[in-house]
Copies of this chain bind each other. A is one copy, B any other.
């Protein structure tokens, strides 16, 4: 009987997270698409640029792993980005089996411009989290979600994840300092 209940619990949890995860992802997807629209990119293409930017170059298999896409998807979209002049392919002398990508200046500029034009008001998922920020003083840590993703994708996924956020913080701080030097002022953004 305890075992029946554990199947029931399992089914209910699976359904709960499936419904919520689908709803969340559909909103993320819509927000992401409207954000990158001016640059004529799809989500996978922007994700590849994003990963290569924050990791300062990456192998196709890193892109596939961290971008949660098939290796062939990572490769094909990288190829398209190469044709548009946003990245270059290379091999490393010490690692001939993997293909690496590195952003060109044009590729880096896209990632930076997207950070510039980012408008919190247009991101419904962020807006959905704002009431929690108002109560707790910060955005939710979503630790349960992080723990589940960590258990599924492993420690190196989380390491790349953390690395990209550290780099993002640095990049934004640099941008901000540059803006302050220029004497720009920012409006209320959220």
Report chain B residues within 8 Å CB of A10: 118, 120, 123, 126, 139, 189-190
**Mask of A127-154 contacts with B, CB within 8 angstroms, 1/0:** 1111110000011111011111111110
Report chain B residues within 8 Å CB of A188: 3
A106 at the interface (CB under 8 A from B): no
A14 at the interface (CB under 8 A from B): yes
CB pair B139 A13 closer than 8 Å: yes
Assembly CA distance A2 to B141 (angstroms): 20
CB pair B68 A22 closer than 8 Å: yes
A71 at the interface (CB under 8 A from B): no
Number of copies: 2
Q: A19-B161, A186-B7 are in contact. Are A145 and B142 (CB under 8 A)?
A: yes
Closest Cβ neighbor of A124 among chain B residues: B152
Q: A3-B187, A68-B22, A153-B23 are in contact. Are A13 and B129 (CB under 8 A)?
A: yes
Assembly CA distance A125 to B25 (angstroms): 15
What residues make up the interface of A, taking CB atoms closer than 8 Å to B?
3-4, 6-28, 31-32, 47, 68, 115, 118, 120, 123-132, 138-142, 144-153, 157, 161, 164-165, 168-169, 172-173, 176, 179, 186-190
